[in-house]
Amino acid sequence: MDDDGFAGFAGATVAVVGLGLMGGSLGMALRQRRLVGRVVGVVRRPEVAAQAIRLGAADATTTDLAEGVRGAALVVLATPVRTILEQIPRLEPHLADGAIVTDLGSTKTAITQTMAALPGHVQPIGGHPMCGKEVAGLAAAEPSLFDGATWALTPLQRTRPATIERMRALVQAVGARPLMVEPDRHDRLVAAISHLPYLLAVSLTQVAEVVGQDDDAVWRLAASGFRDTSRLAASDVQMMLDILITNRRYVRLMLQSARARLADLDRLLDDETALRAVLEAAQAQRAGWRPGG
């Protein structure tokens, strides 16, 4: 396959490996908008295969990775990060000439490093759509999931401009906004605005649980503030574990930064003037932010 002068993936076969929330939503978006010739879903469990066809997430499914990616112009890995790391080398003998290999994983350094070892005839490029829900699985998938979302693309040194352009066009075609970013830079930024929020939500849930052990009225008093701040604690544990372990260095950095901030806030409870200034700065910052902004 030759991607020069070939604007999109019209008529092409796209393999989506893993039909959970993200992969399933992508399959639906590609099919509903008729952006590709055919979506082949690679799944682990036969019951998900049947569900994928029923929900319109794929035209065909297989439980065999080699069979699924054969002849695909684009392979999208949509499994948890460490499963992606394990799948990349297994793709190698089965990839079509010129095939683009991308992924939807939440950390990018380990994945792009592993992609670098793919043979020269394929084109690797990392990807990460900044959307999701705390509910995992195909049942929660929806073709509009990517609408308005930022979709990070992390090209490798060898990724050709034409590959980047095709991926940029595909990302826009499913409704998202591509953002080119280096893998290391991506991982630092998402540690701050995605992985840290998860750990803060977990800590809040843990504190409420301890308080609830001797007074379960805490659960009746908990309202929208608790609901929103703790929401991410309900995220899929395997997905989050893979993220935390493959981005440990930056996660730890952000965690330490947050702990230092909380220690400061504790101290400022005795210094109202300084506390007010700090809370006003955070208020202005947060009130001025808009998603994707």
Considering only residues 209 to 238 of the shown chain, the ones binding its own copies according to CB under 8 A are 209-211, 215, 217-237
Q: Which is nearer to its own copies, 55 or 218 (CB)?
A: 218
Residue 117 touches its own copies, criterion: CB under 8 A: no
Smallest separation (angstroms) from its own copies to the CB of 252: 6
Smallest separation (angstroms) from its own copies to the CB of 212: 8
Residue 269 touches its own copies, criterion: CB under 8 A: yes
Q: Which is nearer to its own copies, 58 or 81 (CB)?
A: 81
Q: Which two tokens stand for residue 203?
A: 């800590």
C-alpha closest to that of 14 among 100, 97, 80 = 100
Q: Which is nearer to its own copies, 5 or 237 (CB)?
A: 237
Smallest separation (angstroms) from its own copies to the CB of 90: 23
**Which residues neighbour 192 within 8 Å (Cβ) at sequence distance 6 or greater?**
250, 254
Helices (H), strands (E): how many in the chain?
A: 13, 8
Residue 222 CA to residue 247 CA, distance in Å, equals 32
φ, ψ at 218 (rounded to 5°) = -55, -35
Q: CA 95 from chain center: how many Å? A: 23
**Which residues neighbour 64 within 8 Å (Cβ) at sequence distance 6 or greater?**
42
Residue 70 touches its own copies, criterion: CB under 8 A: no
Single residue of 42, 72, 91, 254 touching its own copies by CB under 8 A? 254
Residue 29 touches its own copies, criterion: CB under 8 A: no
Helix residue ranges, H only, 116-223: 161-173, 183-190, 196-214, 218-221
Determine the size of the site formed for its own copies (CB under 8 A): 91
Residue 293 touches its own copies, criterion: CB under 8 A: yes
Smallest separation (angstroms) from its own copies to the CB of 197: 4
Residue 194's SS3 state is helix
- Window 127 to 146, contacts with its own copies (CB under 8 A): 130-133
Q: In the sheet where 74-77 sits, what is the strand order? A: 60-62, 36-42, 9-17, 74-77, 100-103, 123-129, 150-155, 177-180
Q: Please check whether residue 90 is in contact with residue 118, taking contact to mean a CB–CB distance below 8 angstroms.
A: no
* Site map 150..189 versus its own copies, x via CB under 8 A: x-x------------------------x-x-x---xx-xx
Residue 241 touches its own copies, criterion: CB under 8 A: yes
Residue 198 touches its own copies, criterion: CB under 8 A: yes
* Site map 30..59 versus its own copies, x via CB under 8 A: ------------------------------
Smallest separation (angstroms) from its own copies to the CB of 153: 12
Helix (H) or strand (E) holding 276: helix 272-287
Q: Which stretch binds its own copies (CB under 8 A): 9-17, 29-37, 89-97, 280-288?
A: 280-288
